[in-house]
Amino acid sequence: MKTLKELFKIGKGPSSSHTMGPQKAAKIFLENNRGASSFEVTLYGSLAATGKGHMTDIAIIEVLEPIAPVRIIWKPDVFLPFHPNGMKFRSFTNDEKPINEWTVYSIGGGALSEGKGDDDMFNSPEVYDMNSMTEIMKWCERTGRNYWEYVQLCEDSSLWDYLEVVWIKMKESVERGLKREGRLPGPLNLPRKAPTYYVKASGYKQSLQTRGLVYAYALAVSEENASGGTIVTAPTCGACGVLPAVLYHISKSHEFTDKQILHALATAGLVGNIVKKNASISGADVGCQGEVGVACAMASAASCQLFGGSPSQIEYAAEMGLEHHLGMTCDPICGLVQIPCIERNAFAATRALDSNLYAAFSDGSHRVSFDRVVEVMKRTGHDIPSLYKETSEGGLAKGFNMTGNVND
């Protein structure tokens, strides 16, 4: 597995795969083609199907157009073999003769790949020797250590400084989102709900207040993401509200130190990394189970660790967080990361706290392992038809047009 710095990315929403990844690819292509007189970018599959709602074209044009004109070609019905999020960049001379061509894929969480295996320019060092939760859990039990200590063993010391920045950015995204009112961009005219939920939750007794505040925190981050604000992928932009909401709530309501929160972030990152390595965190590849489901597993593990869970209880919490999202489709209305994405973040955050509580009542023993659920998630995701995987052609998105109205 790669460093957690490649999982937790700080950037602007609304989509890590459809905004952050394509913009990064455009910057790389530009570096080698600054003398071009024009550019052409062809978007395939999911990138083309929901790219307008995700602002994929805007992200690319912002980079390339200051140098030369850009043509965007949309091919939603063409899926390249390596991944549903394919892009082809081309540069041309004044007389339209091709200079350069590059095919690249946005594979989820802001990561890129050329689909070339060992020869891929995006290959980076593997820093973890063990890639499964079962292996790492046995190591924890054998050595008397916890998951974050395995992260510390594998990563260099700069990780803790990086996670400190990640935690600061997560808190800032919650606090900005709680203060901002009005409507989110796009044809749905969706009103921001986080400030209202926060005010209402504050008036309830503690049992209901807890859930209401977690809703508010998750809504705050997800609404920031939907409006193009700065967030942290956890593991993606579309699922960025779950982990910050849980950790922000726990840090506010209990006397945990920042160091303990960073240790919980490391454990959460380890959970996300295991899924990224052995399955996928891309909605276009495996549906929303790979985004919100994985985010819930990450938050479940983090909260269980903070409340003193054993390695087996932490693994159980993560397993439940992902298992109970199996089969979840990715069907954003109008291609926007708004409906149902924002509410899913809020419900997944509270489900993470439920998973922690359920695991805490157990002794950690259970029949279905986290690794087994990851395997099933990958297979289920690949069995789901493409119209339910970030194409806005099926599910809740079916029938909606870019005006936000349902076609008769």
CATH number for the domain harbouring residue 340: 1.10.4100
Q: Hey, is 11 helix, strand or coil?
A: strand
pLDDT score at 204: 86
308: region left, alpha or beta (phi > 0 left; psi from -120 to 50 alpha): left
Same domain, 277 and 324: yes
Q: Tokens 């600054």 — which residue? A: 34
In angstroms, the CA 153 to CA 373 distance is 26
CATH of the domain at 18: 3.30.1330.90
Q: How far is CA 359 from CA 269, 300, 353, in A?
A: 19, 9, 10
**The domain boundary residue, chosen from 93, 119, 145:** 119
| Whether residues 225 and 317 fall in one domain | yes
Residue-number span of the structural domain to which 71 is assigned: 13-119
pLDDT of residue 362: 97
Over the stretch 137-193, which tens digit does the pLDDT of each residue have? 999 999 999 999 999 999 999 999 999 999 999 999 999 999 999 999 999 999 999
Domain boundary among 63, 89, 119: 119
How far is it, in rounded angstroms, from Cα 284 to Cα 56? 14
Do 103 and 137 belong to one domain?
Answer: no
At residue 269, what are phi and psi to the nearest 5 degrees?
Answer: -65, -40
Does the residue 168 lie in any domain?
Answer: yes
For 233-297, give the DSSP string.
-SS-STTTTHHHHHHHHHHHHS---HHHHHHHHHHHHHHHHHHHHHS---HHHH-GGGTHHHHHH
Considering 58, 86, 119, which residue would you say is the last residue of a domain? Answer: 119
> What six digits make up the tokens of 360?
């805490």
Residues in the chain predicted with pLDDT less than 70, given as ranges, are: 401-408
Same-domain check for residues 221 and 115:
no
Region for residue 77 given its phi and psi (left: phi exceeds 0; alpha: psi -120 to 50; beta: otherwise)? alpha
Residues 199-228, buried b or exposed e (16+ Cβ, 10 A)?
Answer: ebbeeeeeeeebbbbbbbbbbbbbbbbbbb
Give the per-residue pLDDT at 208. 87
Predicted local confidence at residue 406, as pLDDT: 58
Q: CB under 8 Å to 124, separation ≥6 — which residues?
A: 2, 3, 6
Q: Tell me how far apart the alpha carbons of residues 275 and 280 are, in angstroms, rounded to a whole number.
A: 6
Q: Are residues 187 and 235 in the same domain?
A: yes
Number of domains in the chain: 2
Do 114 and 158 belong to one domain? no
Of 244, 279, 240, the closest CA to residue 264 belongs to 244
Per-residue pLDDT at 205: 84
Report whether 226 contacts 13 (CB < 8 A): yes
